Each structure stands twice: as structure tokens, then as C-alpha cells.
């Protein structure tokens, strides 16, 4: 294990929710930290490993008042320059749609030493808990990961949805619930079959996990009828059909 020195910031992936999915490096960092700056999707079971640390909540949630990214960056830098061991604890993996790169670049500009501890991203581990493999030799040999909104909160621009539909055996969407109707329409207009299987996995890997099985054309109506909501991962593709045999939770 690497030594966690004073004045350093470690960006640690907390995984999709189940504390058993933390890496050994993550657990060691949480136990050694003086302060843990965590986001909204970190479970209380994960935070229990930081029982001796100061816990600082600076989480972002869509549609709710949230700290701005410069505020988070400044807090990390200030805590490190005060000589503390700082863990920036982020749900999933810090570099998978988690603004980890922005935080690292801020640390670099401020001359703060850092380390990245990868975590299991919900788009792989969370789907596995629902019995959905993102690749399977006999069903799909490719996967594309996409964010459901850009930095403005709108549906992402510049994505060739027709090309995505042609290229990917599975499409995995993060933070897509608000724009699911628009995304589904674009994929269908681009040539993806309306009856393509869709799975929506809410609170993946936690005791509150719920899974909705639907199709591309029915996804929005079924989501509204089920009451399922964020945080959720959406997977689109024939790999979802393997849930019938592989759902193990």
C-alpha cells in the first residue's frame, strides 16, 4: 500500500453503493484520512470506514441546490494546504462522468499532490447486480457509455445517435432519466428498433435496488408508471434479455 501523506488529496471511487465493492486502497485511505469530502451518492456503509475522519458533504443532485465545482475544488485545496490527508470520495469511479478530471486539474494548478483510487462504476458493477452483462460473446461484443446530460443539464449535443445505435451492442446511459424520452426518440429515428430491450436499474447494488424491464418505445411511459427514479443506470440492448437467466440478487 502507498503511504497517504499529509497535504495530499486522494480521489477515491466509492463504487455503486455496496460497501463490499470498495478496493483495499479505498478502505485504507478512508481509515487514514483526516477529512473526507464526499458526494451525494456515497452510502452510509461506505462512510462508516471513515469513522475517525471529519466528514464534509459537498454533493451535487440534479434539480436541487448544489455546491459549484469551483467551491469543491477550493475546499480540497484548502484542506490539503492546511496539512491534512484529504479523501475526495465519489460514487462509482472518479473518472466516469464524475468530474474527477476537473478536480485533478485544479489540484495540479494549485501544486497539491494527489492520487487516484479507481472504483467500480455503476455502469458495469451496478448492472451486474441486476444480472446484466455489458458484454457477452454470444450476444454483444461492444458497449458504449454515455452521459444523459451535458454540463448545462440539457441532453448532450454532438452525439451521432444513429451511429451509436449501429455501433454498440449495448448502450449504457448515466444520468439519463430526465431526457429519456428525447434520447429514445433520437435512437429510434436513427434506426434502432423500437422494441430494443431496455433495463432501468435504480440504486444499483444497494438493498433499495429496483429494476424495470421495458423497451425503447415504452421506456418513458413505463418509468412514469413504475415510479422508478434517480439515481439510475439505463442499459439498452439485447444483453438485457440475459436477466431472465442471470438475475441473482
Q: Tell me: the pLDDT tens digits for 124-158?
A: 999 999 999 999 988 888 999 999 876 555 567 78
Catalytic residue numbers, as ranges? 39, 60, 175
Q: Tell me: the pLDDT tens digits for 9-40?
A: 999 999 999 999 999 999 999 999 999 999 99
63: pLDDT confidence band, cut at 50, 70 and 90? low
Pairing of strands 113-117, 8-13: parallel
The pLDDT score that the predictor gives to residue 9 is: 98
Residue 168: CA atoms inside 13 Å, Cβ hemisphere, count? Answer: 24
Element of type H or E holding 237: strand 232-237
Dump the DSSP string for 19-44: GGG--HHHHHHHHH-SEEEE-TT--H
Model confidence, pTM: 0.92
* Cβ 79 vs Cβ 28: under 8 Å: no
Domains of the chain: 8-120 (3.40.1010.10), 123-246 (3.30.950.10)
More confident residue, 125 or 1: 125
Q: Tell me: the pLDDT tens digits for 192-217?
A: 999 999 999 999 999 999 999 999 99
The pLDDT score that the predictor gives to residue 155 is: 66
Amino acid at each position: 500500500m502507498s503511504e497517504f501523506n499529509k497535504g495530499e488529496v486522494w480521489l477515491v471511487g466509492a463504487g455503486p453503493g455496496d460497501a463490499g465493492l470498495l478496493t483495499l486502497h479505498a478502505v485504507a485511505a478512508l481509515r487514514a484520512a483526516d477529512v473526507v469530502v464526499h458526494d451525494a451518492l456515497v452510502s452510509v456503509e461506505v462512510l462508516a470506514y471513515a469513522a475517525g475522519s471529519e466528514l464534509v458533504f459537498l454533493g451535487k443532485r440534479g434539480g436541487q441546490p448544489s455546491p459549484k465545482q469551483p467551491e469543491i475544488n477550493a475546499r480540497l485545496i484548502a484542506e490539503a494546504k492546511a496539512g491534512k490527508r484529504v479523501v475526495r470520495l465519489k460514487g462509482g469511479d472518479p473518472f466516469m462522468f464524475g468530474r474527477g478530471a476537473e478536480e485533478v486539474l485544479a489540484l495540479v494548478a494549485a501544486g497539491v499532490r494527489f492520487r487516484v483510487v479507481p472504483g467500480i462504476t455503476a455502469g458495469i458493477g451496478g448492472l451486474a447486480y441486476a444480472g446484466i452483462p455489458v458484454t457477452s460473446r454470444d450476444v454483444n461484443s461492444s458497449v458504449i457509455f454515455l452521459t444523459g446530460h451535458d454540463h448545462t443539464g440539457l441532453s448532450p449535443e454532438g452525439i451521432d445517435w444513429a451511429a451509436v445505435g449501429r455501433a454498440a451492442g449495448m448502450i449504457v446511459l448515466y444520468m439519463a432519466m430526465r431526457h429519456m424520452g428525447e434520447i429514445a426518440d433520437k435512437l429510434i429515428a436513427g434506426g434502432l428498433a423500437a422494441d430494443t430491450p431496455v433495463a432501468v436499474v435504480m440504486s444499483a447494488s444497494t438493498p433499495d435496488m429496483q429494476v424495470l424491464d421495458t423497451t425503447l418505445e415504452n421506456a418513458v411511459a413505463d418509468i412514469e408508471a413504475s415510479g422508478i427514479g434517480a439515481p439510475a443506470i439505463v442499459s439498452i440492448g439485447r444483453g438485457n434479455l440475459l436477466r431472465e437467466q442471470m438475475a441473482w440478487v
